[in-house]
């Protein structure tokens, strides 16, 4: 534990700390461009120069390890002069185009030049000009502005795991490029936009849309996958202009996936903004009263009513729907499963991602069973990669999920391997014996009625044997799945689709035969199931309501209203509450606070907001199953088109096309 | 009527003040009335020219012809000067800044809520 003195204050820092981190701990702000906490140290911008005793020259604090007895000064004349010199060199080739630059207002160079910039440039020659590069449909380049901090290169290599970005030439002629003018082949690519300290890499869909100071910022939760990344939604008026990551060390650190970031333009297209009612085979716009009266007429005819919730539905809505349908028909046939899906809700650990996401970093062995974390839960994949890079952890897989940005050791694609591991006839059994914290990740592809039970029970048996049951993880794809499971929104005895009346809330994946059925569709975006509906009710999207979502760990997170629903659309639970009045079976809550306290009262499994559920894996019941000779069949994932918001988004369509182009070879048509 | 009388005593922004009223009574000479009902006066030797507004005291209510006269750009009153009337000339109006009629570019005025694309059942 070296002791260093920063500006006369002596502090003790941990081994391996850099001088820059020591200064931060001492409360001194050090300007920097290339240094980033989560990336390797490059030390090439020289902005973080500090004075050190017995050093003839100023030292780059980001690359200098803190050592015993160092005496550091951060505010001397020498430091100021050195930084001013660095800044002047940086500004030599930086265009003075702040007024037309999208980074203006949130630019590191702009901010630091206020402190260290000279009054005018002494440079009299022409500024360097650099050709624009193509980096795909998300990243807009203005390479004249680049100051060569290499953050983007380090991000692509270290965190995204795609060596697509690099620098060519040296010195003044250095250029950041994708070499082949191709799309960056990563689901995390747009994070380089946040990393870029200047306006060299900016957001293409957000280009010239707004200035940072005009935007209203709302800190909320993402629903594009089940991870529940923390995001900040920036709105200007009604429009959601952009989505940025919010730091949460327990979930997404400070990255988000491209889908999370750019599906937001789907929020302003394909919107259902008024109720519709089907007359003579055509959906005709109508008023809320007409729609509600029609529903109550139909509800009087039969008690055979089923509810199906989609992939983006929040806790409040599922709870309200469940209560409404049980008060009307007496049965609780609300389900969240839009496809063949094996669930064992007898214990929460059977469907939760039991390892907290942050503890993936401590794991020393991974087994993916029919899981493709890169496409199913990108943020979890970046955690696995982080572990793989820092500890060289081995990742094994049953079934080939394709490139995961790290090396995968394929055990085969037959699920009977699991039984071999249990019987210790497979060499993987030795690995798991030696491992202290093994992690099994079971994907939705194998959680079907045929394979699900075998995979789940055998995995439990293996993990139980090595006393590692907390490493049992189910990788859900949809933001609503775990919440629905915890609320008991499933009916394992009966198929909901057999009911005469179907109440769909954003359920747009399932294929429905609408013969002799009355279908109510409530949702924010139009889809194939909206067209076959008899009554359409306009709902709110995830940025337009205060709501709770449960991520795959079982963590309850609150999303906040950043914008409001368009036209006549209303928040989903309010629609159900109003409908319950028309049906003369009023639900027993009037405000969101009452509704939430009802949920927490009725279901003790829900933890406090932002906390993990207190679920113990010890008393998990395990059944023994016969061996199953069956191959892993990955269900196809169209990464950029997984939900209705993404499908409505123009940017996501562009991404999809760009990635398809990338996969083509020269001889393809 | 009575309230207008009190207003003219205690405020300056409702037509003339008492001082102007008395000054106009004793040394003012009415030279003309514009289309808005503002009355223009001068004193005997034409060293002073002034206007008594019909309504709010706001100098931008003076139409351009009378603007010339009151600022002594022209010696004679507008009715003695021949002005050309072009079809592109607009009716004079006071400066609307700060009022509800103030101009704002259509872009910022437009309600952003309309900027979404509707789902069409037929599509």
pLDDT in tens, A45-86: 999 999 999 999 999 999 999 999 999 999 999 999 999 999
Mutate to test the interface with A, among B119, B120, B122 (most CBs of A within 10 A): B119
Chain A positions touching B115 (Cβ under 8 A) are: 238-239, 268
Measured CB to CB, residues of chain B less than 8 Å from chain A are: 112-113, 115-121, 123
Q: How far is B31 from chain A (nearest CA, A)?
A: 54
Q: How far is A226 from chain B (nearest CA, A)?
A: 27
pLDDT score of A669? 65
pLDDT score of A575? 95
Flag the least confident range among A48-52, A324-328, A616-620, A624-628: A616-620
Flag the least confident range among A13-22, A90-99, A160-169, B80-89: B80-89
Residue-range domain boundaries for chain B: 2-107
Chain A positions touching B118 (Cβ under 8 A) are: 271-273, 567
Look at residue B105 and tell me whether its pLDDT is greater than 80: no
Look at residue A17 and tell me whether its pLDDT is greater than 70: yes
CB-closest option in B112, B117, B120 to A238: B112
Look at residue B10 and tell me whether its pLDDT is greater than 90: no
pLDDT tens figures, A332-370: 789 999 888 999 888 999 999 999 999 999 999 999 999
pLDDT score of A363? 94
Collapse the DSSP code of B79 into the 3-class scheme (helix H, G, I; strand E, B; otherwise coil) and give the result.
Answer: helix
Spatial CA neighbour of A184 closest among A208, A160, A150:
A160
Chain B positions touching A283 (Cβ under 8 A) are: 121
The mean per-residue pLDDT over the stretch A231-257 comes to: 92
Chain B positions touching A569 (Cβ under 8 A) are: none
User: A237 and B120 in contact by Cβ < 8 A?
Assistant: no
From residue A602, alpha-carbon distances to A320, A424, A559, A599 in Å are 12, 44, 21, 5
pLDDT score of A493? 77
CB-closest option in A236, A238, A270 to B119: A270
Distance CA A557, CA A252 (A): 13
pTM (predicted TM-score):
0.83
What confidence category does residue A331 fall into, taking pLDDT thresholds of 50, 70 and 90?
A: confident
The mean per-residue pLDDT over the stretch A300-322 comes to: 92
User: A526 and B117 in contact by Cβ < 8 A?
Assistant: no
The mean per-residue pLDDT over the stretch A166-191 comes to: 91
Chain A positions touching B116 (Cβ under 8 A) are: 238, 267-269, 271, 273, 566
Q: What is the dihedral of CA A370, A374, A378, A380, to 10 degrees?
A: 60
User: A530 and B119 in contact by Cβ < 8 A?
Assistant: yes
Look at residue A102 and tell me whether its pLDDT is greater than 90: yes
pLDDT score of B108? 47
What percent of chain A is predicted at pLDDT more than 70?
100
Mutate to test the interface with A, among B111, B115, B121, B122 (most CBs of A within 10 A): B121
pLDDT score of A264? 92
What confidence category does residue B113 fall into, taking pLDDT thresholds of 50, 70 and 90?
A: low
User: B121 and A566 in contact by Cβ < 8 A?
Assistant: no
- What's the DSSP call for residue A636? P
From residue A289, alpha-carbon distances to A269, A331, A505, A578 in Å are 26, 26, 19, 10
User: B113 and A269 in contact by Cβ < 8 A?
Assistant: no
Spatial CA neighbour of A152 closest among A64, A143, A205, A181:
A143
pLDDT score of A329? 83
The mean per-residue pLDDT over the stretch A238-263 comes to: 93
Other Cβ atoms less than 10 A from the Cβ of A534: the count is 21
pLDDT tens figures, A531-547: 999 999 999 999 999 99
Chain B positions touching A282 (Cβ under 8 A) are: 121
Distance CA A265, CA A646 (A): 8
Chain A positions touching B123 (Cβ under 8 A) are: 526
What percent of chain B is predicted at pLDDT more than 70?
91
CB-closest option in B112, B116, B121 to A269: B116
pLDDT score of B109? 43
Spatial CA neighbour of B8 closest among B45, B49, B57:
B57
User: Taking CA atoms, what residue in A is nearest to B117?
Assistant: A269
User: A270 and B113 in contact by Cβ < 8 A?
Assistant: no
From residue A217, alpha-carbon distances to A192, A241, A245, B32 in Å are 21, 10, 12, 59
Burial A48-74 (b: 16+ CB within 10 A, else e): bbbbbeeeeebbbbbbbebeeebebbb
Flag the least confident range among A230-244, A328-342, A447-461, B34-48: A328-342
Q: How far is A236 from chain B (nearest CA, A)?
A: 9
Look at residue B111 and tell me whether its pLDDT is greater than 90: no
The overall average pLDDT reported for chain A is 92
The overall average pLDDT reported for chain B is 85
Alpha helix (H) residue ranges in A127-220: 151-154, 191-195
pLDDT tens figures, A632-654: 999 888 999 999 999 999 999 99
Look at residue B93 and tell me whether its pLDDT is greater than 50: yes
CB-closest option in A276, A526, A566 to B113: A566
Chain A to chain B Cβ contacts (< 8 Å): 41
CB-closest option in B116, B118, B121 to A531: B121
pLDDT score of B106? 58
The mean per-residue pLDDT over the stretch A423-434 comes to: 92
Q: Are A2 and A15 in contact (CB under 8 A)?
A: yes
User: A273 and B117 in contact by Cβ < 8 A?
Assistant: no
């Amino acid at each position: 534990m070296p002791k260093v003195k920063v500006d006369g204050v002596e502090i003790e820092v941990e081994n391996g700390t850099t001088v820059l981190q020591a200064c931060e701990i001492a409360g001194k702000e050090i300007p920097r461009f290339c240094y980033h906490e989560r990336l390797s140290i490059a030390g090439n911008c020289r902005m973080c120069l500090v004075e050190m005793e017995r050093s003839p020259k100023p030292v780059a604090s980001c690359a200098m390890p803190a050592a015993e007895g160092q005496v550091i000064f951060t505010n001397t004349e020498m430091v100021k002069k050195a930084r001013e010199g660095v800044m002047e060199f940086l500004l030599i080739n930086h265009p003075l185009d702040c007024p037309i630059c999208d980074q203006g207002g949130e630019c590191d160079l702009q901010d630091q030049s206020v402190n260290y910039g000279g009054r005018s440039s002494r440079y009299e020659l022409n500024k360097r000009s650099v050709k624009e590069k193509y980096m795909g449909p998300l990243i807009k380049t203005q390479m004249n502005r680049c100051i060569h901090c290499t953050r983007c290169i380090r991000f692509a290599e270290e965190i995204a795991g795609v060596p697509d970005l690099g620098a060519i030439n040296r010195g003044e002629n250095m250029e950041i490029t994708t070499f082949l003018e191709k799309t960056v082949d990563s689901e995390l690519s747009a994070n380089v936009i946040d990393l870029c300290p200047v306006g060299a890499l900016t957001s293409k869909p957000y280009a010239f849309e707004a200035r940072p100071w005009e935007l209203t910022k709302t800190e909320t939760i993402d629903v594009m996958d089940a991870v529940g990344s923390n995001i900040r939604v920036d709105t200007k008026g009604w429009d959601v202009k952009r989505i940025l990551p919010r730091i949460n060390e327990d979930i997404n650190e400070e990255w988000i996936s491209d889908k999370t970031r750019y599906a937001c333009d789907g929020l302003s297209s394909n919107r259902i903004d008024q109720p519709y009612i089907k007359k003579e085979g055509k959906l005709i716009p109508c008023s809320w009263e007409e729609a509600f009266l029609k529903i109550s007429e139909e509800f009087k005819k039969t008690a055979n009513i089923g509810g199906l919730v989609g992939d983006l539905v929040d806790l409040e809505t599922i709870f309200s729907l469940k209560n409404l349908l049980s008060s009307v028909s007496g049965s609780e046939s609300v389900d969240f499963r839009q496809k063949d899906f094996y669930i064992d809700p007898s214990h929460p650990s059977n469907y939760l991602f039991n390892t907290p996401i942050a503890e993936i970093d401590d794991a020393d062995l991974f087994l993916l069973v029919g899981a493709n974390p890169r496409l199913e839960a990108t943020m979890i994949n970046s955690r696995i990669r982080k572990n793989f890079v820092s500890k060289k952890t081995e990742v094994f897989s049953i079934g080939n999920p394709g490139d995961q940005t790290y090396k995968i050791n394929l055990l085969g694609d037959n699920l009977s391997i699991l039984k071999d591991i249990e019987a210790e006839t497979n060499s993987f059994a030795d690995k798991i014996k030696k491992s202290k914290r093994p992690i099994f990740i079971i994907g939705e592809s194998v959680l079907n009625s045929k394979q699900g039970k075998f995979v789940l029970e055998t995995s439990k048996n293996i993990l139980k044997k090595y006393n590692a049951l907390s490493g049992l993880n189910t990788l859900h794809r949809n933001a609503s799945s775990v919440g629905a499971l915890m609320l008991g929104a499933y009916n394992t005895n009966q198929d909901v689709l057999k009911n005469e009346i179907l109440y769909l809330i954003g359920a747009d994946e399932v294929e429905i035969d609408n013969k002799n059925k009355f279908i109510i569709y409530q949702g924010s975006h139009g889809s194939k199931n909206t067209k076959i509906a008899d009554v359409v009710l306009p709902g709110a999207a995830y940025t337009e309501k205060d709501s709770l979502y449960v991520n795959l760990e079982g963590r309850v997170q609150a999303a906040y209203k950043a914008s409001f629903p368009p036209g006549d659309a209303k928040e989903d639970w309010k629609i159900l509450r109003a409908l319950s009045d028309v049906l003369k079976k009023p639900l027993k809550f009037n405000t969101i606070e009452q509704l939430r306290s009802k949920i927490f009262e009725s279901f003790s499994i829900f933890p406090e907001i932002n906390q993990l559920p207190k679920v113990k894996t010890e008393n998990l019941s395990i059944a023994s199953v016969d061996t199953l000779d069956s191959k892993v069949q990955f269900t196809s994932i169209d990464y950029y088109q997984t939900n209705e918001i993404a499908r409505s988004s123009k940017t996501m369509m562009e991404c999809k096309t760009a990635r398809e182009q990338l996969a083509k070879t020269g001889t393809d048509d | 009527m009575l309230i207008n009388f009190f207003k003219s005593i205690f405020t300056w922004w409702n037509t003339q003040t008492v001082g102007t009223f008395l000054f106009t009574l004793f040394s003012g000479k009415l030279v003309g009335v514009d289309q808005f009902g503002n009355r223009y006066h001068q004193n005997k030797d034409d060293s002073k020219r002034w206007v008594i507004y019909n309504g709010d005291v706001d100098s931008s209510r003076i139409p351009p012809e009378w603007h010339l006269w009151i600022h002594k750009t022209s010696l004679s009153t507008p009715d003695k000067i021949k002005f050309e009337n072009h079809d592109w000339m607009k009716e004079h109006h006071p400066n609307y800044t700060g009022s509800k009629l103030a101009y704002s570019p259509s872009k910022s005025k437009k309600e952003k809520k309309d900027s979404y694309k509707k789902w069409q059942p037929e599509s």
